Amino acid sequence: MTIGRVNPAKRLEDQGITGLGNVYYNLLEPALIEEALKRGEGTLGKGGAFYCSTGKHTGRSPKDKHVVRTPDVEDTIWWENNKPMEPEKFDVLHADMLEHMKGKDYFVEDLYGGADPEHRLYVRMVTELAWHSLFMRTMLRRPEREELDTFAPDWTIVNCPSFKADPERHGCRTETVIALNFAKKTILIANTAYAGENKKGVFTLLNYILPGEGIMAMHCSANHAIGNPDDSAVFFGLSGTGKTTLSADPSRVLIGDDEHGWSDNGIFNFEGGCYAKTINLSKEAEPDIYNTCSMFGTVVENMVYDPETLELDFTDSSLTENMRCAYPLHYINNASDTALGGQPKNVIMLTCDAYGVLPPIARLTPAQAMYHFLSGFTSKTPGTEVGVTEPIPTFSTCFGAPFMPRRPEVYGKLLAERIAKTGASCWLVNTGWTGGAFGVGKRMPIKATRALLTGALDGSLNNAEFRKDPNFGFDVPVAVHDVDTTLLDPRATWADGAAYDAQAKKLVEMFAENFAQYVPYVDDEVKAVAIG
């Protein structure tokens, strides 16, 4: 039975997906929550939030992600970073999944990826779990109801957590699989209920499609000055570096927290919602995000709560460090109505340095910005990926290697062109450790980070006195109003200066070793600022 609103010429059976039970098309949030509760998928929490658990998989499974090796993408995929799958294996996987789905109820949401109508992707999400549809309806852009009558999907994502892949039969690594087929415009996801796989699947698509059109695809958050969309800023960074928290600044307008494009028109959010980590979230430090956890339709993943009062425990990480909430963008008081901004005036690169070596902020030349963008140094934080239980220093090129189908130089060149054209100021911001490495030091105070960012964004930081960092060569402010001066000199925060020097030397060597792979692809200006 077909239930809901859909283009009558673009039902699942028109796509060859037949023999299902009830198919629920484009249900609104109340109906999706009702269906999820009816099926025992979760609990109705305070304020109408939906509490759920993702089971075994509480983070992404990047090692189980594959790109199908078809002739149309053979020469443009970065195969060293993307595990190939043979087309024949994908076809068997696809057929087996469709057979497994027969007789079962499924939920369909037709959505947009991209706030700019010129560059948006039409995505159909087919889910076994009602709450997955709620999640994606929250995370992507929602068409007007009348648009659904003619909606024709460019891509279809099928998510079936109850299906277990066969590595030998399907050409994958484990029973869990995420397979992208650019020729068939289909993504298959199996044996994982972690909802983040859905949204990152769309991001991976846009990361491939948009650069082919000369548009920069970015793993970043973004905001702009109140009343002035042309005074915008982007914040690059992997999960756990503070993208969501730092862009949700009450003194600026939030464009989005995770995924954006940068075109000749300016920047645009790919999404219609935010996906925030909630571990140790506090009402005092991050009131807007905290409040969304008790608002109607917010999806609260893997959080411990009191079964009687439904109070959430933001400090209990017994299920995972990667506890999260997904909420629509408009739940943030200062969110943009359009999710659009002008050409960025500031480019922020966020890093979480578990070595405790980097300063809280540094000013970068365009060449240094390119160096740090290609390096993508940070620390994977606990829970974000399966098996990560403590911060692991890593280099994730362009601050988003897991989601990059093309080679890093493609994105690097686009960023260089955009910075050159707009004259944007560039900054490296460390939200990681100070006073010592992980286990000895402490996390950078968020109050200091916010004060430094405010100075960078309003231009006042450019008037500060700067010193040249002896290890990395970038400019670091000597003194900033409302910031502990000692914090600006990482060496001074360590009890043992010699121990800092040894740690800094170790990190410099890691930078040099990592960047060697990009030297053949960069110009002389970038080579001149290379570290080590």
Q: Which residues are catalytic?
A: 60, 200, 219, 239, 243-244, 258, 324
> Which of helix, strand or coil describes residue 178?
strand
Classify strands 425-430 and 361-364 as parallel, antiparallel or unpaired.
antiparallel
CA-CA distances (angstroms) from residue 361 to 107, 109, 378, 437, 478? 46, 42, 14, 17, 11
Cα 287 to Cα 118: distance, rounded to the nearest angstrom: 35
Q: 233 and 347 in contact (C-beta within 8 Å)?
A: yes
Q: 490 and 500 in contact (C-beta within 8 Å)?
A: yes
- 3-state DSSP of 438-469: CCCCEECCHHHHHHHHHHHHHCHHHHCCEEEC
Cα 272 to Cα 449: distance, rounded to the nearest angstrom: 26
Cα 81 to Cα 183: distance, rounded to the nearest angstrom: 19
Cα 230 to Cα 232: distance, rounded to the nearest angstrom: 6
Cα 445 to Cα 441: distance, rounded to the nearest angstrom: 12
What are the structure tokens assigned to 517, written together?
């792979």
Nearby residues of 250 by Cβ (< 8 Å), 6 or more positions away: 288, 333, 334
Say how many C-beta atoms besides its own lie within 10 A of residue 472's C-beta. 24
Q: Which residues of 273-309 are buried (b: 16+ CB within 10 A; e: fewer)?
A: bbbbbbbebeeeebebbbbbbbbbbbbbbbbbbeeee
Q: 244 and 262 in contact (C-beta within 8 Å)?
A: no
Q: Tell me the angle at which helices 366-375 and 497-515 cross, rounded to the nearest 10 degrees.
A: 80
